[in-house]
Amino acid sequence: MGKLLVYILLGLMLLVGGCATPEKEAPVIKSVLDGDWQSTKSRANVRFDHGKIIGSDGCNRFGGSYTVEGGRLSVGDHMMSTMMACPNMDQAMAFKTALKNAKVYENDGKTLTLFGEKGEVLETLFYLPTSMKPDTYYVTHYNNGKGGVVNVTKGSFVSMELLKDNRVIGSTGCNDYTSSYTTKDNAITIGFPATIRKMCPPELMEQEKNFTTALSHVHTITRNGDAYELRDEKGALQVILNAIIH
C-alpha cells in the first residue's frame, strides 16, 4: 500500500511539472546597429552605418563615428553638426546628449533602447524600415541630370504613388505620368514613365524631363530619417521623397 502511495505522488509531481507555464523568453539582443532609427519622443532620427553615425536632432543635421562591442556602445566625442537655431533647441540638444552618453543598448530589431552608465534609460527609438510599401509619396528633390540634386520647382507638386498592382502613378508638376515598378527589400526598379502631353511653362517642362529620367534610373532605397532616398546602381542620388501623412 505504501509503494502504491509513493507511485501516485510521483505521478502527480510529473503531471504538475509538465503543465507548468514555460518561462518567458528573453528578447534577442542584436550586436549590429546598422539601420535607421527614430526617437519615440520627437522626429529626431539617427542612422548607424558601419561605424559612421549621421542623423537629425529635429533641428540640425549631425555626423560622427561610433563603435560597438557586444551590448556596449561608444559614440565619438567629435560630432559635427549644422548650426541652425530652432524653437525646440532643448529637445534637440537632449537627443544628441543621449547619443553621446549612451554606454549600453538593447536592440530587438524593432526597438532600440539606449542606457547610461548607471543603467538609466536615455532614449528609446523605433526602427525605420528601408523597404517602401504601396503608398502616396511627395517628391522634394530630384537629379537634374547635370550632376546635381535640386529642389522641386517652387509652387509645383511632384508625387509618386505606388499601387498594389505594381503600377506607379503621379504628377511631374506639369503632367500626370504612369509606369510599372518592382520592389524587393531595399531594391526598386521603375520603368520609364509615360506622360500626357500638356504644355507647361519651360521650367516645369525641364523639371518633368529630368524627374522622369531620374525615376527610370533608380535602383536602391536608403533612408534618411523620414525621407526615402532613391539611388542608381552606382549610389548616385536620383530622387528624395516622403510619405504623405493620411
CATH number at residue 41: 2.40.128.270
Looking at the structure, do residues 207 and 112 belong to the same domain, yes or no?
Answer: no
3 state DSSP class of 4:
helix
Looking at the structure, do residues 160 and 206 belong to the same domain, yes or no?
Answer: yes
Check: pTM over 0.95? Answer yes or no: no
> In a structure prediction context, what are the per-residue pLDDT tens digits for the chain, which is 246 residues long?
455 544 444 454 444 444 444 443 444 445 568 888 999 998 899 989 889 998 889 888 899 999 998 889 999 988 898 888 888 899 999 999 999 999 999 998 899 999 999 999 999 999 988 889 999 999 999 999 998 999 999 999 999 999 999 999 999 999 999 999 999 988 999 999 999 989 999 999 999 999 999 999 999 998 877 889 999 998 899 999 998 865
84 burial class (0-12, 13-18, 19+ CB within 10 angstroms)? exposed
Phi, psi of 109 (to 5 degrees): 95, -20
Q: Write out the residue range of the structural domain in which residue 218 sits.
A: 136-243
Own/partner contacts of 171-176, CB < 8 Å, gap of 24 or more, are: 172/204, 172/207, 172/208, 172/211, 172/212, 173/200, 173/204, 173/207, 173/208, 173/211, 174/198, 174/200, 174/204, 174/205, 174/207, 174/208, 175/200, 175/208
Looking at the structure, do residues 119 and 173 belong to the same domain, yes or no?
Answer: no
Looking at the structure, do residues 104 and 44 belong to the same domain, yes or no?
Answer: yes
Q: What is the CA radius of gyration of the chain?
A: 26
Looking at the structure, do residues 119 and 201 belong to the same domain, yes or no?
Answer: no
Task: Count CA within 13 A, CB hemisphere, residue 42.
Answer: 18
Residue 2 lies in a domain: no
**How many domains does the chain divide into?**
2
Residue at which a domain ends, from 77, 106, 128: 128
Residue at which a domain ends, from 76, 109, 128: 128
